[in-house]
A and B are shown apart, each in its own frame.
Chain A
Amino acid sequence: MELEDGEAVARSLAGEPEAFAVLVRRHGQVVHGYLFRRSDRQTADDLLGDVWLRAFHSRQTYDQRWPSARPWLYGIAGNALRAHWRRRVVDHDNRGEVGHDPWSDADARLDAARLWPAVRAALGELRREDRDVLLLVAWEHLTPAEAAVSLGIAPGTARWRLHRARHLVQARLDGAPVVPTVLYRASEEA
């Protein structure tokens, strides 16, 4: 019987580092999917190894009480992706802009979907923190609590950000005006 995620990490920390490979085989595809949806196939292929090396070297930060390592892995993948975009900005523009939001660069591959342009535009209007929660729940099928683990925030904050993101995107798709100021005002109260 294959090791549970927590058990594999525990063993890898207790003198059997190769036990960590269980996680790569189990979650490699979903982590690749996470990267693909936020970039493209080439970037996902390139970054996957980096994500797993980061995970391996920081495995002591995984809370083994969580039955699945996926939320934790998505957090690492998100950091790797942001580092990649920062490097790209530095390499190509020599601007060194920290905190560059890659959203505007990503995802021409879903243009064929009829609603995608509108959805994409709506997603582009979201604050990055809100979009992260929304897509972790919608694309990676995490619960808000798991998304909170992934992003290192409180569950209540994740729930509020999800609510806010859904509201804004829905409003955009319905053609209704939104008032970002009101939506954002309560952001740190959760």
Chain B
Amino acid sequence: MDVLQLLDEMGEAPPAHDAVIQAAVDLVLAASHQESPPGPAPSNPIVRRRPVVVVAAALATMAAAVVAVVLLVPAGGPGSPTTTRPGARPGGHAPRVITSAMVRLISLQSGAATADTGTAVETTTNTVGATIQGEPTTIDVTFSGPNVNYEIVGDGAGAAGVENRVVDGQLYLYVKGPDLQMHWYHDTSPDAAASMSFPDPRTLLQAVSASAGLEDLGQQRVDGVELTHLHATTPGALGALGIPDVSATVTSFDVWVDSADIVRQMAVSSTWGGSGFVCTVAPNSSGSSPSSGSVSIPPAARITTLPDGKPVPPGTVCGSTHAMSAGTTLDVRFADLGDPEAVAVPSGAIDQQGLG
């Protein structure tokens, strides 16, 4: 028998599943849409009054109550990953690992959908050991291209109402001034916007990658919308995402995707361990240190965890180090994608250096 004929008979391949071909079609269409010229800008963009913000603890005249802070210094690598699976698995649904092509499609579609305008709610919960520290911090985020507003709507530490706004690479803060009234300030420090301590929710989309080993846990109805729940089977492979609030090794990652393959909700947890020390901080308007250096571990409810690398507020006095572990869970929910939003320079912002 001729070699070519022989090989031909041996080379039969079963057809690909329709879903695999369709995923490739969708992937190309998604890439096409990214390449297509952008549509016309909305003729009458709505400037949302929703505050966005940031915390300028040093400037804001917060109550002079003593706040306890735990500073963690990672030592010897991340703590043991805890692979607790959030959310209940729908009964009877066998998890299905999705292909890297599908993951890429979701990443592309979500990147395109969030590149322009939308809103998000970020909720951050901190733990030290197994104890949740204080109330979760909730931030309303509004984005329009690279411009982003952050408004703290609740954190249990008196920062509600504070806003951070980044417009054209410049940082604006809505905080209390020396007259105890809220004002917009423009931080004129070089690279002030880079010091922003809140994560742009869109940066978390980088975790939607093949290395996460995402599996499909089935459909879930969230806020009346049918979403597909994807769960990372290898979250540790994501490493440290390097974004604010998720600076340590990821220990769990869940994504909820809509029927257009766009991420609507994400939840990521990270933990880190090492030696830490408890500090007392007494912020006041002058930024001077408290007179007393006496330090003791306060009640858990009064401890706030700061990820490594965050600036230490003035007036910080720290005690001896001891081993500890801490964790952060960041929950992000997108909404209003594509709706007209504008994040503009606040009028009357006062130039000042070194706010952020």
Contact = CB atoms under 8 A, between A and B. Distances in A.
Contacts of B66: none
Given A49-B102, A57-B31, 9 more contacts: A21-B28, A24-B28, A28-B21, A33-B13, A45-B20, A49-B105, A52-B28, A138-B11, A173-B6
Main secondary structure on B side of the interface with A: helix
B7 A138 contact: yes
A28 to B, nearest CB: 4
Interface string B314-332: 0000000000000000000
B28 A166 contact: no
Contacts of A169: 3
B8 interface: yes
A60 to B, nearest CB: 12
A10 interface: no
Q: What class of interface size applies to chain A in its complex with B? A: 35 or more
Given A29-B16, A119-B7, A135-B7, A21 B29 contact: yes
A-B CB proximity, top 7 nearest:
A49-B101, A138-B7, A17-B32, A33-B13, A32-B16, A139-B11, A28-B21
A182 interface: no
Contacts of A24: 21, 24-25, 28
Contacts of B33: 17-18
B104 A50 contact: yes
A145 to B, nearest CB: 16
Interface of A: 12, 15, 17-18, 20-21, 24-25, 28-29, 32-33, 36-37, 41-42, 44-53, 56-57, 110, 113, 115-116, 119, 134-135, 137-139, 141, 165-166, 169-170, 173
A147 to B, nearest CB: 12
Contact of B24 (A28, A141, A165): A28
B13 A21 contact: no
Interface string B32-44: 1101110000000
